[in-house]
């Protein structure tokens, strides 16, 4: 696999708060990375750094294939103001603004791509509805269409399943799988371990002033999850009760 981003000896935090030191990791093309950690562990800070909104305290970021023109990004839904007076179709089209420019508008080919993205996420039938009329799941699908339109090699999804039902989650996971198969790197901030196990190849666990990166099975061990404050001892022994290596599917 080729790396989209190489992170070396990274120390992350703020002026008076160091979240962790010495992280080495590669974000690989065609991989899915779960970023996990207890509240306040630094997940959003890590995402902000990847987006270039925050400099590391120290360390290096190297983009072997060149820094992408654009990083696909889905913010936490709570940060989205759905009173924004646009339609579903316009929201999706905003993902492609670099391709056609804000003034010139969409040509026929771009309009076709928007419709295809809306169809893929299952909201083409409500493409002309204003955002404030959508349910949480419909809005998340529309926001996924916007990410599809961004056509980026690295995609960051901040808690994409936080406010959606199981069938929407399953649908959105098929889109994530397609992105991975296309060789894009997908980074997901998640809270629920069950959505990590079957769908992510790698994990970055934050907490306890440490950052642990590796294959999912190597990182998400009961000892480590407890040591880094993600699970209590009793949660870990319940979730790992049948196997030392395999978690029960459960929310934390």
Ligand X SMILES: Nc1ncnc2c1ncn2[C@@H]1O[C@H](COP(=O)(O)OP(=O)(O)OP(=O)(O)O)[C@@H](O)[C@H]1O
CA gap 154, 180 in Å, rounded:
10
Q: Among 36, 43, 126, 228, indicate the residue that binds ligand X (CB under 6 A).
A: 43
Our finding on whether 160 is near ligand X (CB under 6 A) is no
Residue 232, C-beta contacts closer than 8 angstroms, at least 6 positions apart: 226
- A 10 A CB-CB count for 51 gives 13
Our finding on whether 228 is near ligand X (CB under 6 A) is no
Whether the CB-CB separation of 14 and 42 falls below 8 Å is answered with: no
Our finding on whether 22 is near ligand X (CB under 6 A) is no
Is 227 exposed, middle or buried, given 0-12, 13-18 or 19+ CB atoms closer than 10 A? Answer: middle
Our finding on whether 55 is near ligand X (CB under 6 A) is no
- In the bound state with ligand X, the residue whose beta carbon lies nearer, of 134 and 193, is 193
Q: Among 39, 104, 166, 243, indicate the residue that binds ligand X (CB under 6 A).
A: 39
Q: Among 28, 37, 180, 225, indicate the residue that binds ligand X (CB under 6 A).
A: 37
Q: Give min distance, CB of 46 to ligand X, in A.
A: 7
- In the bound state with ligand X, the residue whose beta carbon lies nearer, of 37 and 137, is 37
CA gap 76, 79 in Å, rounded:
6
Q: Which stretch binds ligand X (CB under 6 A): 14-22, 101-109, 144-152, 226-234?
A: 14-22
Q: Give min distance, CB of 162 to ligand X, in A.
A: 10
Q: Among 8, 9, 17, 250, indicate the residue that binds ligand X (CB under 6 A).
A: 17
- In the bound state with ligand X, the residue whose beta carbon lies nearer, of 54 and 124, is 54
Our finding on whether 64 is near ligand X (CB under 6 A) is no
- In the bound state with ligand X, the residue whose beta carbon lies nearer, of 51 and 170, is 51
CA gap 92, 149 in Å, rounded:
7
Our finding on whether 95 is near ligand X (CB under 6 A) is no
Q: Give min distance, CB of 16 to ligand X, in A.
A: 7
Our finding on whether 51 is near ligand X (CB under 6 A) is no
- In the bound state with ligand X, the residue whose beta carbon lies nearer, of 61 and 86, is 61
Q: Give min distance, CB of 139 to ligand X, in A.
A: 20
28: its two tokens: 């690989």
Residues at the interface with ligand X (CB under 6 A): 14, 17, 19, 37, 39-45
């Amino acid at each position: 696999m080729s790396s989209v981003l190489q992170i070396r000896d990274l120390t992350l935090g703020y002026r008076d708060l160091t979240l962790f030191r010495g992280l080495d990791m590669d974000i690989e093309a065609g991989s899915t990375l779960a970023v996990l950690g207890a509240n306040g562990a630094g997940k959003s800070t890590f995402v902000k750094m990847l987006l270039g909104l925050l400099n590391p305290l120290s360390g290096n970021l190297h983009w072997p294939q060149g820094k992408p023109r654009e990083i696909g990004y889905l913010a936490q839904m709570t940060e989205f103001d759905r009173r924004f007076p646009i339609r579903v179709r316009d929201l999706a089209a905003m993902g492609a603004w670099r391709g056609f420019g804000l003034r010139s508008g969409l040509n026929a080919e771009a309009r076709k791509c928007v419709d295809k993205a809306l169809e893929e996420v299952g909201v083409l039938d409500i493409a002309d509805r204003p955002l404030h009329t959508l349910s949480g799941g419909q809005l998340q699908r529309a926001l996924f269409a916007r990410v599809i339109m961004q056509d980026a090699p690295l995609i960051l999804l901040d808690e994409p399943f936080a406010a959606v039902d199981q069938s929407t989650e399953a649908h959105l996971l098929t889109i994530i799988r397609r992105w991975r198969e296309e060789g894009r790197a997908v980074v997901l901030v998640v809270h629920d371990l069950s959505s990590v196990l079957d769908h992510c190849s790698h994990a970055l666990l934050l907490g306890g002033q440490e950052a642990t990166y590796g294959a999912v099975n190597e990182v998400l061990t009961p000892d480590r999850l407890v040591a880094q404050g993600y699970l209590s001892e009793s949660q870990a022994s319940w979730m790992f009760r049948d196997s030392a290596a395999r978690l029960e599917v459960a929310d934390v």
